[in-house]
Amino acid sequence: MTLTGRHTCKVTAAYGDWRIHEVSMGQDVYIDLVKLVLPKEPTILPLDSVAWKGKHLPSKFTGDNCVCCGGDRYRDCDTSYPGIVVEGITNPYQLPYRLIDGKHRVQKILDSGATSAPFYLLTKREVLMYTDTTETDLCSQP
Amino acid sequence: MKVVPLFPTPLGLIDFGEVHQRQDIELVQAILRAYESDPQGKQSSQVGGWHSHPLVEFDPAFEELCVLVKEAGQGFLSHLGYDNPVNHVDCWANINNKGQFNMFHHHNGSLLGGVYYPVQSLSPEGVLGFNYGADPMKPGSWGGHGGELVIQSPNYNLQGHLSKKTPSAWNTDHYHINPTSGLLVLFPAYLTHSVMPVMDDNTRISLAFSFL
């Protein structure tokens, strides 16, 4: 699987405080997905130990009614690709794992009735290497 | 005939919506904790109610809200054609019970003023009342519900000799804004405003801001 793009970590009305406090309390922190080196094998984790954007929201704001995409990305996503989680990093739910990629997939898995799922598990140190507070800085990294 | 709005008064309404309810509940809980820790509060525009000291550092819920409020304020200023950077948002809470109100005042010296309603009201039994998405605006004179934010026209009392035949934006002296869950109201710092006395047994809870 090839990862593309980057995720913004910020405060939003819909999802709450998803800033990475270890990096910045400012609004613009990016995780550069392209540069992440994923482990060869995913790890099975219980979903109740994973924080993802919108985890607390009722169904009228998730799934087919997703507030970020109107349900398009939820319907189109392929759950055979594991999400990416980071262990021991700030999240609004104070859970052990923070999802940094794959919230529509995780929601779809949860809605199917599953209580656990495979995830690529990264350490905080591995991810913080690929965060920055400006898009320019990220692009200039080797 | 062409009528041109020469010097219109801007009012920003930003609806965080029901999707913000989890954070709104946390805000109310944090406000009540702030009240318990500082029941004397600060004397300001309130008559009988509680006005907190600055809250941004009291609880992470306030800091998180102020990030959104700061962003909204910056956008509002930009929309109006100003390029002042918002460096800081001062935030405090107001709690008013039956008969309590806030006198007319302004936020001059700030870039903007603002108010946010995490809830419509809090019942005597401790039940939070939510009214996300309700129409908050009521032009003209007071409707009698209590707890509304009253915005006064900068031209107030300058046209009192004119007879109003048809209500319009041109001849309205006040707008009332009903407490509406998830609603952020932004206005120029010069705009004088007050809060009507609460008329029922519910508690009115709001957060106010000055943009610096």
Q: Summarize pLDDT for B19-39 with one digit per residue, the tens.
A: 999 999 999 999 999 999 999
As given in the structure block, the two tokens for residue B176 are: 């009332």
* Phi-psi domain of A16 (left: phi exceeds 0; alpha: psi -120 through 50; beta: other): left
Q: CB pairs below 8 Å between A and B: how many?
A: 30
Given an 8 Å threshold on Cβ–Cβ distance, is A13 in contact with B16? yes
Q: Helices B60-79 and B21-37 sit at what angle, rounded to 10 degrees?
A: 120
ipTM summary value: 0.88
In a domain, residue B159? The reply is no
In a domain, residue B198? The reply is yes
pTM of the model: 0.92
- The CA distance from B1 to the nearest CA of chain A, in Å, is 44
CA–CA separation, A4 vs B192, rounded Å?
A: 50
In a domain, residue B61? The reply is yes
Tokens 């607390």 correspond to A56
Given an 8 Å threshold on Cβ–Cβ distance, is A13 in contact with B60? no
Amino acid at site B210: S
Number of structural domains chain B divides into? 1
Given an 8 Å threshold on Cβ–Cβ distance, is A16 in contact with B16? no
Average pLDDT over residues B165-169: 90
Most A CBs within 10 Å: which of B63, B64, B67, B89, as the mutation test of the A interface?
A: B67
Given an 8 Å threshold on Cβ–Cβ distance, is A11 in contact with B64? yes
In a domain, residue B21? The reply is yes
In a domain, residue B101? The reply is no
- How would you write the pLDDT of chain A (142 residues) with one tens digit per residue? 566 677 888 999 999 999 988 887 876 778 877 778 889 999 999 999 999 999 999 999 999 999 999 999 999 999 999 999 999 999 999 999 999 999 999 999 999 999 999 999 999 888 888 777 665 544 344 3
As given in the structure block, the two tokens for residue B43 are: 């004397």
The three-point CA angle B49-B111-A20 to 5° equals 85
Nearest to B19 among A10, A11, A61 (CB): A61
Give the range of the structural domain holding residue B74, as residue numbers without chain letter: 9-85+106-131+174-212
